């Protein structure tokens, strides 16, 4: 009997959606366990005692933590519909862009909290991150690895889709402009229109409302 798969998470976390997309692309059945991050469950504290963060994947009684580590575990555990290419150099390149998304994509989350000079600085960092991907990441390909969604697309999908929402919430102008980033714009449209992704994207209007309330609550508590 196959070991059950459970995902501990909270929506609309972009890191949780990375794992959801990987599971769906692999057609792996799983149980989603919603976490209240203001009152973390004993299950979360037991299986991620170091960081006490979501997402956590439980495969039987084995926990895996950190979103892109979970995605790589899923790819190794269930080899159908591979998320990394076979060629070692192409695999290394995919991992490079995953690492880039992890390191530089954090500017998008800081953008949500920033004001004044910090907002200007974070906007500049976000633009530099987008420009690097535009110039060096995609070329003329549909997705990072070619014609199918792979690990780098999952990593960046959670950055760019959330950026489109956060820039609307912050209301300081559009960062992700189509004429400045035509390759990235074409890529995110292809990504969002892929059936498995389209069926498992959080509703944009709901997200805008959610993040506006969060930002207002942060401003009030400050």
pLDDT of residue 220: 87
Tens-place pLDDT, residues 41-73: 999 999 999 999 999 999 999 999 999 999 999
* CATH match for 5-77 among 3.40.30.10, 2.60.40.1180, 3.40.50.720, 3.90.660.10: 3.40.30.10
Give the percent of the chain with pLDDT over 70: 100
Q: CATH classification of 88-220, choosing from 3.20.20.70, 1.10.3720.10, 1.20.1050.10, 3.40.50.2300?
A: 1.20.1050.10
> What is the tally of helices (H) and strands (E) in the chain?
10, 4
**pLDDT at residue 1 tops 70:** no
- Per-residue pLDDT band at 221 (split at 50, 70, 90): confident
Strand pairing of 31-34 and 5-9?
Answer: parallel
Task: Say if residue 2's pLDDT is above 90.
Answer: no
222 band by pLDDT with thresholds 50, 70 and 90: confident
**C-alpha distances in angstroms, 23 versus 31, 79, 137, 192?**
11, 12, 24, 16
pLDDT digits (tens, 9 = 90+) for 98-150: 999 999 999 999 999 888 999 999 999 999 999 999 999 998 999 999 999 99
d(CA 88, CA 219): 48
Residue range 135-188, pLDDT digits in tens = 999 989 999 999 999 999 999 999 999 999 999 999 877 899 999 999 999 999
Domain ranges of the chain: 5-77, 88-220
CB atoms near residue 180 (< 10 Å)? 14
First to last CA, the chain: 52
What does the pLDDT read at residue 174? 80
195-209 confidence digits (pLDDT tens): 999 999 999 999 999
Judge contact between 153 and 146, C-beta under 8 A.
Answer: no
8: left (phi over 0), alpha (psi -120 to 50) or beta: beta
Q: What values do phi and psi take at 97, rounded to 5?
A: -70, -30
pLDDT at 96: 98
- Compute the distance between CA of residue 39 and CA of residue 49 in angstroms, rounded to an integer: 15
**Distance (Å, rounded) from C-alpha 144 to C-alpha 142?**
7
pLDDT at residue number 143: 97
């Amino acid at each position: 009997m196959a070991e059950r798969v459970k995902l501990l998470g909270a929506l609309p976390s972009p890191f949780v959606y990375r794992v959801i997309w990987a599971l769906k692309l692999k057609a792996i059945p799983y149980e989603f366990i919603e976490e209240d991050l203001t009152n973390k469950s004993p299950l979360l504290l037991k299986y991620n005692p170091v960081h006490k963060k979501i997402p956590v994947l439980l495969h039987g009684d084995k926990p895996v933590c950190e979103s892109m580590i979970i995605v790589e575990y899923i790819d190794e555990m269930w080899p159908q519909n591979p998320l990394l290419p076979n060629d070692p150099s192409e695999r290394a390149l995919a991992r490079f862009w995953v690492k880039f998304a992890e390191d530089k994509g954090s500017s998008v989350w800081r953008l949500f909290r920033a004001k004044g000079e910090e907002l200007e600085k974070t906007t500049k960092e976000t633009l530099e991150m987008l420009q690097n991907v535009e110039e060096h990441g995609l070329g003329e390909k549909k997705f990072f690895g070619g014609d199918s969604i792979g690990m780098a697309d999952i990593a960046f999908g959670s950055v760019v889709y959330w950026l489109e929402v956060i820039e609307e919430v912050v209301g300081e102008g559009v960062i992700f402009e189509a004429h400045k980033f035509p390759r990235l714009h074409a890529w995110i449209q292809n990504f969002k229109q892929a059936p498995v992704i389209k069926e498992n994207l959080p509703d944009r209007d709901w997200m805008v409302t959610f993040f506006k309330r969060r930002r207002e609550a942060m401003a009030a508590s400050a």
